[in-house]
Amino acid sequence: MAKNAMRTISLRNIRAHKVRLFLTVLSVVLGTAFIAGSSMMTASLKSSMDSLLTTAFNDVDVVMMQNEKSPRGISMADVQAIRDRADTKSVDVSTQQSTVIMTGSDGKAIQTGAAPAQAFALGPNQDFATGAWLKEGKKPEARGEIAINEGALKKGNLKIGDKTTVVTPAGRHEMTISGTFDSKAVSDSMLGVAFTEPDFLANFTDGEHVQLLTIELEDGEDANAVKDELGTAYGNYSVQTGQALVEQTTKMISQGLSFINYVLWAFAGIALLVGTFIISNTFAMIVAQRNRELALLRAVGASRGQITRSVVFEAIVVGLVGSVLGILAGVGLTQGLMALIRTQGMPLPSAGLGLDTTSVVAPLVVGVLITVLSAWAPARRAGSVHPVQAMRAGDQSSNNSLVVRTVFGALALVVGVVAVLVGSLVSSIGGIGARSGVIGFGAFCIVIGLWLAGPAVAGPLVGGLGRVVGAPFGAVGKLAATNSQRNPRRTAATAFALTLGLMMVSSIGMLGATMEKSMSDMIDDSLSADFVLSSSGGSQLGVPKDVPEVVSKVEGVDAVTTMYTAPVVMNGQKMDDTFGPPAMKVLRGDLSKAVKVTMREGSIELPEDQPGVLIADSTATRFNLKVGDEVTLNSLAGGEAKAPVKGIYEQNSSLDRAVLSNKSATELADEQAISIFAIYVDSASGPSDDMRKRLEDAVAEHLVVSVKDKNEFIGQTTAIVSQMLTILYALLALSVIVAVLGIVNTLALSVIERRQEVGMLRAVGTQRGQIRTMIYIESAVIAFYGALLGAVVGLCIGWAFIHVLAGNGLDQVVVPWVQVGAMLLASLVVGVLAAVWPGHQAARTKPLEAITD
């Protein structure tokens, strides 16, 4: 038969079965939409950030920053010397910690959402800061005057001349709004506050040093030449052109965004993996249903190769259509996410859609490749159809032996289970990474084993479940149970997509529940204070320095213990686990009133007027220290001091690896560099609503301080885990959606295949409602089986990973029974919902037409 004739037949076949085409294409669309969306999202974010940076540094020619040779920053004497140069037009000073809070006319803080609230300094003899210009009023000139951006003025319902409260790292101040300004780098969603330079230095620096200079040169000056000259004259600072800084920052943003891209690609892979099984299952059913058609083509001269190629050609068409639609869906996904980001206050400029080569080519290639690979096995089976099979109907593939497939599946399951047990129980094979890798390999083998051995397992299990679920429905229920186990290959393939999704959800849920419980227990066991005062959520400002004194005067307060942080290292090592600069804990007060500490050696007392340090037992072992030994302390400013070890405590979740006395901290670090981490309050009468109200009233005017009791503090800490789990569940929901569509797909095709059977049932008196009920029960049983299998396997794999992490605080396994039960019940509901349309189609079958097909 001619190639063109076969191609024509394939295209007509695709057009003739629109519903089947739609269901198959949809599974491709969902997977490719995530790939396209991930590429476009990162490209759009990068483009927006590039635009924002370019705008912010548009008028900046040279940038000077502190480095390791100048830990305290750039001295104001050097700033003045640079201003006195003939080639400089303006020099603006800045610092890393320039966050600010300001109240509106109602006395409440102006909310900016995720957008920053930032302070700027106005240098002497400048019209305004570089890249900004005065809009109304006058620029701040006297101490206590500020200018703000017009968006903030409207948000706070303020006007020029109003007094407002401004909170900075140095404290709370009453200031007067002298005018408003505009800037390309400050959007309406942000809060921008321009201070006089003396006010800025007093509130955000030590008064003598700044961290960053942005220099605008006189017209005609060569930025590179000035950069080289300044670099030579001021060798203790880093000097580069504004353009070089933009390129460097852009590169860092790209590296940061790559992580988001990897996460999105990972979940796109999960969706495609689930979609692969559905596409393969769909093509297998399509080929089985077209036995007569394919056998007839063989009878009139079509070769095996032509039949196989025709099915592959159909897969290519489906893959192309699905991938193109997936790219369009990715565009919608990206635009929706960008709009969501903007509603949260992120000041992203509109930089257009990030449509690049990757976001178009990758989904096309992957979508077509996955579809063709999924259809390859059914295509080969199609080519093996013999003309004599034209006399037969139904899915002949179900008659093929499952022995070989089941044997290989059983072997894979055994290997997988052994690997998981070895990884979780045998600690001698390596560290956490190596053992987790072994468990991961075992999980992969289990997935492959379930796929291969699934048909052999599905028959008896699904049949048993079907009889239990269908028992209340009498004969219709028995018939549904029989139908659900009639084709174990199809049942296993349909359920497997849901198994894969629920396996990941249950394992992650178990890990998350265990982490939350472990963190909660650790904090509960280590915290002794009744209340904890800290910086309010979302605020980058620390707690104002006068709060401990204010709190100590509140009626009913028995003890106030303040924990600070200082940029200090001990014996050349950081004593905290945070990212960024060192932040060693500093104690002021009675530690026993704040934290439950078990002392191994020495005393828990750490007088604030004496040098000293308390260390954890792990730190003592690491540095071979005992009580009375001296440690070396170094600050980022280059200072060095010695301090004796006053005591050694058992590792505590509320403390880092060492705690410094107030005396030792102030000897090394500037007061500006020491910030309050938390204030622990012990009440004479214990925690109560009345005591909480008094504390909240006492700190209300500070705006940035939140008061939490023990349970709320625990909840705030564990909320991070909950937020991470929510994001993971949202992404994993995509694979579950694909799996549900797979059930719809399979049932719809099954109804088409069983049209004669359904027609016969209708002819002998079965009502339409009974036909629908039969389809609903079949679907619910298949969905419940897939969910149950996924939940069991997922919990086992989750247990294995938790066992590996037992030495890192996860000392007990928490099974989220409520979540698992909800998932299983939801699977029954999902099964019924997935069967609504196929059941409706089956019920509409006309008996005489179906029987005569």
Token representation of residue 773: 């009920």
- Phi and psi (nearest 5°) for 544? -55, 145
Range list of H helices, 84-180: 150-155
Token representation of residue 353: 């859609």
Sign of CA dihedral 295, 300, 302, 307: negative
- Structure confidence at residue 614 (pLDDT): 94
- Structure confidence at residue 82 (pLDDT): 92
The model's pLDDT over 782-815, given as tens digits with 9 standing for 90+, comes to 888 988 999 999 999 989 888 887 766 566 788 8
Strands 658-661 and 584-588: parallel
The model's pLDDT over 712-730, given as tens digits with 9 standing for 90+, comes to 887 777 777 777 777 667 6
The model's pLDDT over 593-624, given as tens digits with 9 standing for 90+, comes to 888 888 999 989 898 889 999 999 989 999 99
The candidate with the shortest Cα–Cα distance to 282, out of 616, 603, 26, is 26
Strand segments (E) across 95-169: 101-102, 117-122, 132-137, 145-149, 163-168
- Structure confidence at residue 563 (pLDDT): 92
Distance CA 204, CA 216 (A): 23
Range name among 50-59, 182-191, 404-413, 752-761 with the lowest pLDDT average: 50-59
Q: What number is the average pLDDT over the span 740-765?
A: 72
Ramachandran category for residue 430: left, alpha or beta (phi over 0 → left; psi -120 to 50 → alpha): left
Q: What number is the average pLDDT over the span 847-853?
A: 62
Confidence check: pLDDT of 849 > 90: no
Q: Sorting pLDDT into bands at 50, 70 and 90, what band is 706?
A: confident
One-letter identity of residue 848: L
Q: What number is the average pLDDT over the span 324-329?
A: 86
Distance CA 230, CA 539 (A): 36
Distance CA 698, CA 222 (A): 56
- Structure confidence at residue 289 (pLDDT): 64
Distance CA 394, CA 292 (A): 9
The model's pLDDT over 620-666, given as tens digits with 9 standing for 90+, comes to 999 999 999 999 998 876 778 999 999 999 888 778 889 999 999 98
User: Across the strands, what pairs with 680?
Assistant: 532, 561
Prediction pTM value = 0.66
Distance CA 573, CA 500 (A): 44
Q: Which residues neighbour 672 within 8 Å (Cβ) at sequence distance 6 or greater?
A: 169, 170, 205, 206
Range of 124-133, 331-340, 452-461 with top mean pLDDT: 452-461
Distance CA 280, CA 377 (A): 8
The model's pLDDT over 490-516, given as tens digits with 9 standing for 90+, comes to 788 778 878 887 888 888 888 888 888
Where exactly are the structural domains of the chain?
1-61+241-400, 62-240, 455-528+713-853, 543-703
Token representation of residue 605: 């007392």
Number of H helices, E strands in the chain: 24, 24
Taking the mean position of all CA atoms in its chain, how far away is CA 745?
Answer: 31
- Structure confidence at residue 642 (pLDDT): 92
Query: What are the DSSP calls for 398-449, one per residue?
Result: GGS--HHHHHHHHHHHHHHHHHHHHHHH-GGG-SHHHHHHHHHHHHHHHHHH
Q: SS3 of 222, please?
A: coil
Q: What number is the average pLDDT over the span 149-178?
A: 89
- Structure confidence at residue 219 (pLDDT): 85
Q: Sorting pLDDT into bands at 50, 70 and 90, what band is 306?
A: confident
- Structure confidence at residue 390 (pLDDT): 47
- Structure confidence at residue 429 (pLDDT): 79
Exposure class string for 144-182: b at 16+ Cβ within 10 A, else e: ebbbbbebbbebbebeeeeebbbbbbeebbebebbbbbb
Q: How many CB atoms lie within 10 A of CB 11?
A: 14
